[in-house]
Chain A
Amino acid sequence: MMASMTSDDRAAWEAEYAEARLRDVDFETMSGIPVDPIHGPGPYPGQYPYTRGIHASMYRSRLWTMRMFAGFGTAHDTNLRFKDILANGGTGLSTAFDMPTLMGRDSDHEWSVGEVGKAGVAIDTVDDMRDLFADIDLGEVSTSMTINGPAAIVMAMYVAVAEANGVPRSKLAGTIQNDVLKEYQAQKEYIFAPRPSMRLVTDMMRFTAAEMPRWNPVSISGYHIREAGSTAAQELAFTLANGFAYVEAAVASGLPIDDFAPRLSFFFNSHLDFFEEIGKYRAARRIWAQWMKERYGATNERSLLMRFHTQTAGVSLTAQQPEINIARVAIQALAGVLGGTQSLHTDSYDEAHALPSEKAARIALRTQQIIAHETGVTNVADPLGGSAYVEWMTDEMEKRAEEVFEHLLELGDGSMLEGVYEGIENGYFVGEIADSAYRFERSVNSGRRIIVGVNDFTDGDDADGSNLLYIDAGVEQEQLGRLGAVRQNRDSDLVARCLDSLAADAAEPDVNLMPGFIDAVEAHATEGEIVSTLEGVFGTYTEKAIV
């Protein structure tokens, strides 16, 4: 029985592989030994439940996307960097926003002082968005935007700019993070309470499903959960639970599952326990496929495929002897690749101190290129599949995640969405994460866990931090000037009417807010004004102190 199934699997895999377009490279070892594209047992890569990868040929067809984050200063500053990336053959733009933008506040908000343009680009109005993408054909590039709480507003600005330049929204391609659940659990960049925030997410999912077929409306992110201190199994479990919650919310809002599920993507961390990480990625694909098929009844194969981006663990970087972080990042990046990631960001070695310097960012990118082109690991899909240890680790990760799902379903009375809401409200997620973070900290402090350069092997620390990138304070003044000019030159009656109508829309749970956002940003309403308008209806949110 097993044998015949396996040979069927094999035949199916061979047929699929035969159709795949391969990269024009020699699939052999450094010493010239030819290697087969897969080894070990089925189901094979590209076959349900996709434990071994989502494509039959994996990196033989296409390497992962080497996606590096950019964004700083004013829209104009970042625009120059974008054009540089495109001129050098890049096709994807990845945007980081500054803190005020991420929190839905304008650059002239009292808390924005010192934050404008610092950790990303400052966007207050559609005019900033226009300058950010000046002279770039939005019909040709794919854009990733890392923003959550006010994602729908920033998205509206992007659509408005594209259409003003003659590119219809249906042609826009890209991803917006828009994963608000993990904000309450880990990153803490929320604005409203969970339920109204979820409405913004589902409004955007409905909008893109209907009008922007090339857009990924949510990137479900475990990265921040891990950075906040969770274990690998918690990262896996909480992220997938959030994924299921979005699925349930979207279905409840009236979307058929196969209309949106193929557009869901994921974002994981890669930390230092090499095999644990690889087991985590493999388990993630398997759980997602099984749940989507069996619990949620998805029938389109693309709805079952977990596509994910990986970033190396910023929290693992040490301030002491910063150069040794290069080795850490290389190992983490390799785990992501062996785990079958679709795209990868490698951290710069100096990030424990501040924003990365140009040299450090280049070394980070080169690390990925070494893995891709020098190590030979791309010749074989899921090269560790079949290893007793890796298979055990994969099963173990899955088992631990299923225990969490069970708890959440109990909290939600059978609904994962309600279970996640309850877990946010009762402090389950933050409590679990804080426990794990503290356990880790204690093991380091007691010396049971060695961190090289921190609690052992400490000779040779010569970190001076002198090459760190500092953003010039002039950026803030410039941005305040730009914002002031927009406020002065716009039709303020029109802005007021748009905001009033937005408030009315917000009070009606069934109205999709996206069209109202587009109208408001086209009238040059600021991000902060739109957020304040919504706060008038939705209120604000203060988290419970769970330490």
Chain B
Amino acid sequence: MSLRDLTVPELLDEARSGDRRAIGRLLTLVERGGEAADQVAKLTHPDAGKAHVVGITGAPGAGKSTLTGRLAAGLAATGHRVAVVAIDPSSPLNGGAILGDRIRMDEPIHATEGADPNNVFIRSMATRGQSGGLAVAVPGAVRLFDALGFDPVIVETVGVGQIEVDITAASDTTVVVVTPGWGDAVQANKAGLLEVADIFVVNKAERPGASDARRDLELMLDLGGHPAWRPPILMTTAVDNVGIDEVSTAISTHLGHLRESGEIDTRRGVRARSEVATRLHAFLLTRVDETMATTEGEQVLADVDDGTVAPVEAAHRLSNYI
């Protein structure tokens, strides 16, 4: 049987029965976007909404991949089926990407006793240009994993750039990883990561400056008044598996808080609305391109070229066709 010949519903059946190749294939369709991706989104929607979606972000080199791998390994060892979406930037010059994060995720999973690698599914994703495709593809992938019974679903991004921050912030629980050393907290602040954090992790905590980093974060949280959930600050040395259980516990404690306070519904409501908006934007962009390519569009654009019609006037005229 060649997977390439299967329809989306057939692929979903295979995926539900545990065929990991089919899951991989469906993710490709989701990532590509278009009709097949929309079909996956519709078919998985009814089964989704159960998984705890966890975002992990932080500066490059903060140790996010190692931390994610350790978390996934620990969860798999306690019987969870864990999915990870690891996002890395594409080159703006040529669209290519080198996706290397999973090396440090796969390793602890293989090394942890009782962690069945078949209970972990890691997918690397490149940002693929700036068209906002990722903003649709990531929720699509998360929904697919959710519908297939993976829980939690972890989304790992580098905390630079608005797209990445937005994607992480669209999680139920957002973990921001910083490292000791001046500047990291400042960098995180600049990137807007501090406002979105539900949990802070100071990784590489064995290094000098770790307690300073912790104190800086505490001070900053003090400035924020007394919210219902004050983000805990946890110290880890992910590479030596130190402090990982505490992070895992904090993540589930946060989920408990979201449920008790009812905030989970608020967050998911915002997320759903934001996905609608994103999809509408994408839809509009496509319609814009299509309209400009119609006969009427070509005509108006030719007039703009001649200088007989002002661009603003052209846009007004064509907006009627959208």
Contacts and interface: CB of A to CB of B under 8 A. Distances in A.
Interface of A: 193, 413, 426-427, 539-540, 542-547
A539 B208 CA distance: 22
Contacts of A426: 61
B239 interface: yes
B69 to A, nearest CB: 9
A353 B239 CA distance: 39
B107 A545 contact: no
Contacts of A542: 103-104, 107
Nearest to B107: A542
B98 interface: yes
Contact of A544 (B98, B103, B111, B208): B103
Contacts of B111: 540
Contacts of A193: 239
A130 B100 CA distance: 44
Interface string B201-216: 0000000100000000
B100 A413 contact: no
A545 B100 contact: yes
A413 B103 CA distance: 29
Given A193-B239, A539-B240, A545 B101 contact: yes
A453 to B, nearest CB: 30
A540 B104 CA distance: 12
Contacts of A540: 111
A320 to B, nearest CB: 29
User: Which 5 pairs show the lowest CB-CB distances between chains A and B?
Assistant: A545-B100, A542-B107, A545-B103, A547-B98, A426-B61
Contacts of B101: 545
Contacts of A547: 98, 100
22 contacts: A193-B239, A413-B208, A426-B61, A427-B61, A539-B240, A540-B111, A542-B103, A542-B104, A542-B107, A543-B103, A544-B65, A544-B100, A544-B103, A544-B104, A545-B98, A545-B100, A545-B101, A545-B103, A545-B104, A546-B100, A547-B98, A547-B100
A193 B206 CA distance: 15
Most chain B C-beta atoms within 10 Å of own C-beta, residue among A193, A542, A546, A547? A542
B94 to A, nearest CB: 14
Contacts of A427: 61
A547 B96 CA distance: 13
Interface residues of B, number: 12
Nearest to B208: A413
Contacts of B61: 426-427
Nearest to A547: B98
B227 to A, nearest CB: 34
Contacts of A543: 103
B79 to A, nearest CB: 25
Contacts of A545: 98, 100-101, 103-104
Interface string B55-84: 000000100010000000000000000000
Nearest to A543: B103
A26 to B, nearest CB: 60
B210 to A, nearest CB: 14
Given A413-B208, A543-B103, A545-B100, 13 more contacts: A426-B61, A427-B61, A539-B240, A542-B107, A544-B65, A544-B100, A544-B103, A544-B104, A545-B98, A545-B101, A545-B104, A547-B98, A547-B100
Most chain B C-beta atoms within 10 Å of own C-beta, residue among A427, A544, A547? A544
Contacts of B65: 544
A495 B240 CA distance: 29
A539 B107 CA distance: 12
A427 B98 CA distance: 15
A426 B63 CA distance: 10
A545 B239 CA distance: 14
Contacts of B107: 542
A542 B105 CA distance: 10
A413 B182 CA distance: 12
A519 to B, nearest CB: 28
Contacts of B104: 542, 544-545
A489 B80 CA distance: 46
Contacts of B239: 193
A52 B104 CA distance: 47
Contacts of B98: 545, 547
Contacts of B240: 539
A390 B135 CA distance: 57
A193 B240 CA distance: 10
Contacts of A546: 100
A64 to B, nearest CB: 42
A534 B100 CA distance: 28
Interface string B97-131: 01011011001000100000000000000000000
Nearest to B61: A426
Contacts of A544: 65, 100, 103-104
A546 B101 CA distance: 10
A424 to B, nearest CB: 12
Interface string B292-307: 0000000000000000
B104 to A, nearest CB: 6
A123 B239 CA distance: 31
A543 to B, nearest CB: 8
Nearest to B101: A545
Nearest to A422: B207
A34 B11 CA distance: 87
B301 to A, nearest CB: 39
A196 to B, nearest CB: 11
A544 to B, nearest CB: 6
A484 to B, nearest CB: 28
Interface in B24-66: 61, 65
A539 B242 CA distance: 13
Contacts of B208: 413
A539 B110 CA distance: 13
A546 B100 CA distance: 8
B202 to A, nearest CB: 16
Interface in B211-263: 239-240
A170 to B, nearest CB: 39
Contacts of A413: 208
B105 to A, nearest CB: 10
A193 B104 CA distance: 14
A539 B111 CA distance: 10
B99 to A, nearest CB: 9
B108 to A, nearest CB: 8
Contacts of B100: 544-547
B1 to A, nearest CB: 31
A96 to B, nearest CB: 29
Contacts of B103: 542-545
Nearest to A426: B61
Nearest to A541: B239
Nearest to B108: A542
A68 B98 CA distance: 40
B84 to A, nearest CB: 15
B213 to A, nearest CB: 15
A539 B61 CA distance: 21
Nearest to B179: A426
Nearest to B65: A544
Contacts of A539: 240
Nearest to A539: B240
A540 B112 CA distance: 12
A363 to B, nearest CB: 41
A426 B62 CA distance: 9
A528 B100 CA distance: 30
